[in-house]
Chain A
């Protein structure tokens, strides 16, 4: 099947839906999603979305600017950070006007809470900057944006899985999807394609990410010749529920929760003397794993305690209802009366598909634009988060740059036509699938995936070194060889998830190699990338963005400069 739209958006999370809402007045917009739109992973965001509204206490965008840059260990491009933090209040009021049911202050304004790394007066003490709706902020923003899309009659292709991006003379001309319900291939021609598909946490064994967050769009872009930026920066959220890795929001610490080791010590006092438990996530995750490594995990196991017992039942049940229900259900602990077992969990990738401030995908270190292709949200790297994202800055990134991409697309398409392409893209996508049929396939895909997830935990997570990264790359390469001989036996056309997972694994293995390779080449420690063999930040040699390019001989690593406008790199202590 072949169809034609002005704009096709891949991904129905906050970035994709925000972009869709922006374009409907001037363009025919379709949204493609591998899951039903309301199942998108943005919905699991809990704690909030940042903006310097100053509803609870004095706050300024300059402070937010500084915190974001410091949080990113000075790798953020400061021109885009400035755009984001200045646009934040407008973006939040807009969401509120759309109907987002934010929690409120006694005066009826949007309520705000503390969150890690967000401070007043350039690091002096925590500031209440995160706007929230209890601890289901992502969910209610997702619902509101989905509802807005219904109102504006956005066309959804739900449960369509993208097989390939289609290019014509270097210009993006659309994409081919696989309709999970029917097994039919669908070539969607478009003047503009926005990639807004979220992260790739499922490459790791312990993750807060859902099953759908496999990251194939990173690799489809890469296979099309587009470099990926800063892929070594993978955020481990400090408080994943042990042992599942489900997110326990930073809001728990924002509301006063305290991390404790087996001795009952508030150990963050040693690692971040000023803002303690509210330090940036990379700092807290390393602290927790250091405590565990030095034998102060609870009962000698791989977790510490997140203590909320002093907050009282009312606060916990009103502001942290969701996480309370997870903790009670999955580990049988009532946070009102007992501490929560937590461990760092793979949560977010700071890197991704490089874009300009309006979502246009960039092709090289010089900033050449790929006509027709856009990116926003976690899969993109505009780079606001640098080497480590602050909590609640991701939802902000999604709505600010989702909207900007929408505006850019509806402006740009006036100059573009649909490219004259026949049904060749359908044939080559069909051939891709045919290659995967293999009667000996069953069982293999799963064991390869498990092996990959373990390798990435062992060599590519919070602490890294050259030897391990090399072992990891070697391991992933041998899995890729084995993958080439695997496949799926069942040729069923209706909801054939085994087929989808087999395709996903191919992309995941490629991505795993790119992450480890980018990490191997960065011989310093910065933000979420920590090298035991190079434990210091090295601004002289590595104050630059990694760009990994596809070549016939494998990934080729290059660099591009960081844009520094206001804050010169300084020592990062919390």
Chain B
């Protein structure tokens, strides 16, 4: 079948403003959209730029807006689209070229939540014990591949006046450490997260959860962080 792909183009070297270009690709119904993008670059226009690597939704490289919704083209099959697909770079981030965006700010925010285990007690000789139930709490959050689809889709992040909001991806990682039974840094974490640009920046709009390519219940996890902060700050009875 033939699939039309309408693609956002911007080359800082020659374009003053972005434009759209439509390509026709001969595709099998079970091809991934990423396969089609590759075919365009290899056979029709070598100047088309987009990131990719593992091609099966694990590395998190190829986040983009597909028919207006952020997702990974390596997870989408041609058969699920009719005639024409619109591909655009993720919103929120600065476009560098075509579908490639600048993720520096995304990773700065990620780094700001101290994404590592904080411990005070010296490590035992063997493993720190953790029950299967305690580990299971983390299981969904550790699926995160940092593709940035959630943060790009968040209406709070999209608004200029609230752009400092740390965003859902960083909060998922914060959840992963805050609720890790081995972590001893909850006071520090609560201070890092308990403000308007931290967990309270979330307005529970569910866009992150809707788009997450790894089906992480992002909004629910942010809710649990809020609750944890609230409980920690409640004056003792």
Contact = CB atoms under 8 A, between A and B. Distances in A.
Contact of B52 (A111, A150, A211, A331): A211
B132 A103 contact: yes
Interface in B45-80: 46-47, 49, 51-61, 75, 77
Classify the interface of chain B: helix, strand, loop or mixed: loop
Nearest to A498: B46
Interface string A38-50: 1111011000000
Given A97-B123, A495-B96, A38 B146 contact: yes
Contacts of B125: 93
Contacts of A150: 111, 115-116
A98 B123 CA distance: 10
Contacts of B177: 99
Contacts of B119: 97
Given A490-B47, A494-B13, A498-B47, A39 B53 contact: yes
Contacts of A104: 130-132, 134-135
Interface stretch (B137-145, B190-198, B202-210): B137-145
B73 to A, nearest CB: 13
B60 A103 contact: no
Interface stretch (A121-129, A133-141, A187-195, A293-301): A133-141
Given A105-B132, A492-B13, A494-B11, A443 B42 contact: yes
A494 B130 CA distance: 47
A143 interface: yes
A184 interface: no
Interface string A193-232: 0000000000000000011100000000000000000000
Given A35-B53, A490-B46, A493-B13, A99 B182 contact: yes
B11 A246 contact: no
A145 to B, nearest CB: 10
B100 A139 contact: no
B142 A495 contact: no
Contacts of A97: 117, 119, 123, 127-128
A446 interface: yes
Interface residues of B, number: 59
Given A35-B53, A150-B111, A103 B142 contact: no
A485 interface: no
A330 B96 contact: no
A475 interface: no
Contact of A43 (B42, B54, B75, B135): B54
B64 to A, nearest CB: 14
A134 B58 CA distance: 14
Nearest to A488: B46
28 contacts: A35-B51, A38-B145, A43-B54, A93-B123, A97-B127, A99-B116, A99-B117, A99-B180, A99-B182, A107-B129, A109-B129, A136-B58, A139-B58, A147-B116, A150-B115, A211-B52, A212-B53, A246-B55, A329-B77, A330-B56, A443-B42, A446-B42, A489-B46, A492-B47, A494-B13, A494-B96, A495-B49, A496-B47
Interface of B: 11-13, 30, 32, 41-43, 46-47, 49, 51-61, 75, 77, 96-98, 100, 103, 111, 114-117, 119, 123, 125-132, 134-135, 138-139, 142-146, 176-177, 180, 182-183, 215
Q: Which 3 A-B pairs have the closest CB atoms?
A: A99-B117, A108-B129, A446-B42
